[in-house]
Amino acid sequence: MLSDFLQEAFHRFSGNFTSRSEQTTLDSACAISLDQAVDFVVNETSSRLRAIPKCAQQLEKAIVSSFKYIDELVEQVPGVIPCGRSTFGEDPRVNAFFVNYNHLQEVFSQSKEVRELFTSNSTISECYALLCMHREERQRFGIELVGDEVHRDVMQTTVSFSDHQIVSPGVNEADSRCALKCCIFRSLIGYIHGEIAKAADLNINLLNRKSILHSRLKRLEDQHLTSTYRENLSLQIDAVDKEIQNMEPRLISLQDQLQFVTDALTHPEQFLSAETHTIYLSRLGIKQRDTSTGSGRELSLAEIQVANRQPRVAALVCFSREELLPEKDFLHEANIFLIQ
């Protein structure tokens, strides 16, 4: 795939990202990666940007800035979490992430990439990957033990995790961290593309609206009539012009779009954030204030957010080949589920 080079780039640079303007004797392999990065960004945002002279030079330094920021961001994510039968009972994170051990097995076993990795690497005993999830909190009334007394109808917050995705499994922790970096970079590019597309649609709609208003106004002028309606049309045209002028971001021309892409990649911190949250959960997934109750267990969660999208929990995990469900049995169970 075109984006496979991203993993190679993050592995190759290992945090030492440099643009051509910063290093006159750039390694040929690194230069190829930067060229690929520019092609990827242009293809995924707006291929028309190639019409702008020196587009690649403007984008290259901005891409390097994003690579550096994402690299540092991901290196702060906690280490690998083993996911298996034993850790489901012992590790509060694994216990919270999955409904039960069978659910854990299914999440990894249904990943085509996990199966392909084990098939193509017969000597490895476990795989490493990025696990992405949504964290959901809900309010409900429940029972709580306070001292020796049972309190009923106590407002509680339950925490659960959904939409599990296994991303880019590999043979070591470096691969899983690299997968997270690539995922974040692609998400940033996806956001940029979305903003350009929305701005283009809005601009087209405003221009069409302005054209319709002008046509109506001309018909009135041809009739040599003056009326309140004519004055109202003029006011509406002025309002549309003002809205076009005040579009934010203003992405009407190709140069506007290139500037937006460059600015976004140069300052990725405006759109990307990573936070580690510490929460306390009981084994039933009920949020606790701390561990003083005895039932609360501490969880450190790394959450990645792109712009205003819903944050996703990102965990670096490993999974044993021995705990992979047999493919035949797993597919049979999946068919039964679909039939129901």
Q: Which residue in 172, 179, 180, 170 sits closest to 120, CA to CA?
A: 170
**Number of C-beta neighbours around residue 198 at 10 A:** 12
Reported confidence tier of residue 157, pLDDT bands at 50, 70, 90? confident
Q: Which helix (H) or strand (E) holds 134?
A: strand 126-146
What tens digit of pLDDT does each residue of 47-98 get? 889 899 989 888 988 998 999 999 888 888 888 999 999 999 889 999 999 9
What pLDDT does residue 27 have?
45
% the chain with pLDDT above 90: 32
Give yes or no for residue 272 having a pLDDT over 60. Answer: yes
The pTM score is: 0.73
What tens digit of pLDDT does each residue of 180-192 get? 888 889 989 999 9
Residue whose entry in the numeric block shows the structure tokens 């003029």: 234
Give yes or no for residue 101 having a pLDDT over 90. Answer: yes
Reported confidence tier of residue 116, pLDDT bands at 50, 70, 90? very high
Q: Which residue in 148, 142, 151 sits closest to 284, CA to CA?
A: 142
Give yes or no for residue 334 having a pLDDT over 80. Answer: no
168 to 120, 184, 193: CA distances (angstroms): 14, 13, 23
Residues 6+ apart with CB under 8 A from 248: none
Reported confidence tier of residue 29, pLDDT bands at 50, 70, 90? very low
Cα–Cα dist 5/165, whole Å: 21
Q: Which of 11-25, 59-73, 98-112, 194-208 has the lowest mean pLDDT?
A: 11-25
Between 3 and 312, the more confident residue is 312
Residues 6+ apart with CB under 8 A from 88: 94, 95, 98, 100, 101, 104
The answer to whether the beta carbons of residues 2 and 33 sit under 8 Å apart is no
From the number of C-beta atoms within 10 Å of its C-beta (0-12, 13-18, 19+), residue 46 rates as: buried
Between 141 and 281, the more confident residue is 281
Reported confidence tier of residue 218, pLDDT bands at 50, 70, 90? confident
Amino acid at 114: V
Reported confidence tier of residue 166, pLDDT bands at 50, 70, 90? very high
What pLDDT does residue 323 have?
94
In angstroms, the first-to-last Cα distance of the chain is: 36
Residue whose entry in the numeric block shows the structure tokens 């205003």: 308
Mean pLDDT of 131-142: 86
What pLDDT does residue 234 have?
82
Give yes or no for residue 22 having a pLDDT over 70. Answer: no
285 to 68, 137, 148: CA distances (angstroms): 37, 10, 22
* Average pLDDT of the chain, as a whole number: 82
Reported confidence tier of residue 339, pLDDT bands at 50, 70, 90? low
What tens digit of pLDDT does each residue of 291-305 get? 665 567 888 888 998
Q: Which residue in 110, 98, 80 sits closest to 162, CA to CA?
A: 98
Residues 6+ apart with CB under 8 A from 79: 173, 316
What pLDDT does residue 93 have?
92
Helices (H) and strands (E) counted in the chain, each on its own, are: 11, 7
Reported confidence tier of residue 149, pLDDT bands at 50, 70, 90? low
What pLDDT does residue 41 have?
92
Cα–Cα dist 176/230, whole Å: 64
Give yes or no for residue 206 having a pLDDT over 70. Answer: yes
